[in-house]
Amino acid sequence: MTNPLPVFRLFLVLTALLLAGTPSRAQNIVVMVNGDPITDFDIEQRSKLDQLTTQKTPARQEVINELIDDRVKMKEGKKYGVDPGVSDINQSYDGMAQRMRISPDQLTKSLEVKGVRPETLKSRMKAEMVWTSLVRGRFKEKLLVGEKDVAQAVQAQTGDKLQIEGTEYKMQPIVLIVPRGSSPAFLETRHKEAEQYRSRVGSCEEANSLFRSTPNATIRDTVTKTTAELPEALRKVLDDTPIGHLTAPETTKAGIEMVVLCSRKPTMIDTPKKREVREKMYQEKYEKTQKAYLEELRKAAMIEYRNR
């Protein structure tokens, strides 16, 4: 049997050499939060990220406080079993890139050009995902905004109506699956299939019967939306679509997507002013609640400064 001791010594030597070649600044622990270290490198990375997102140079202590908050939030999340997985974080990261109208790889490259690792952004995103879930989950009742309170606020501000006439749409999304990397020819074939389906479907019942038995296609559950919840472009498409028929096919990440319109009827919807007031009241409650929650957790946390 080989003596493992020389191998262990070799491991220690290699580790020492690697650490010797690493900038000491990156290894310097500045704060310990509940046993979790915050290093100079963490602070440097978050500073660069904050500067990139706000176009302002943050104060060092402000950045340290942000990182302390993140550590506290993450520990509280684990206490309640709130721990988003890698796929959740990547999905959120990809969503951010999509909103910026760039690819995830382009987002990564734009961060790296500024000296920010993508993991730095993902770490911040994870902490915020955990925190939002915690606050909304633990204080759900406290965050409720009463309709009476909203109505009174609207009347006090403007005296406007609380509701106006609108439209309610019931629909079912349909996807013809197109595997990633498919050729343009295959995509064109699927488009032609979608147009053929459009000519055959005349009701939601027919759509369900057809697409629930069609290979590489899926029909989702009924979705009900009002005028206030849909963008103007989609409202126009739905208003121009005969009831029971399919909208024009569109290419998305999932494949070729369409919507079968099951019903369209008049309804009363909240005015834009009422929605605005409700959202503002909710946000005020949320901010007050999460601030008090975080202060409570920070007071209970073990925060030890090593170097400033």
pLDDT at 279 over 50: yes
Nearest CA to 170 among 230, 212, 211?
230
pLDDT band for position 308 (cuts 50, 70, 90): low
State pLDDT tens for residues 90-109.
999 999 998 999 999 999 99
Average the pLDDT over 205-224 and give the result: 95
Higher pLDDT, 253 or 76: 76
> Can you tell me which residue has the tokens 């690697």?
18
End-to-end CA distance of the chain: 50
Distance, in Å, from the CA atom of 217 to the CA atom of 95, rounded to the nearest integer, reads 24
What phi-psi label fits residue 55: left (phi over 0), alpha (psi between -120 and 50 degrees) or beta?
Answer: left
Number of residues assigned to the chain: 308
State pLDDT tens for residues 110-121.
999 999 999 999
Task: Indicate yes or no: pTM above 0.75.
Answer: no
Nearest CA to 204 among 244, 247, 241?
244
pLDDT at 8 over 90: no
Handedness of CA 69, 75, 77, 83 (dihedral sign): positive
Distance, in Å, from the CA atom of 54 to the CA atom of 232, rounded to the nearest integer, reads 31
**Contact between 39 and 26 (Cβ < 8 Å):** yes
**Contact between 292 and 13 (Cβ < 8 Å):** no
The pLDDT value given to residue 153:
87
φ, ψ dihedrals at 225, nearest 5°: -135, 150
pLDDT at 12 over 60: no
Nearest CA to 257 among 194, 169, 196?
194
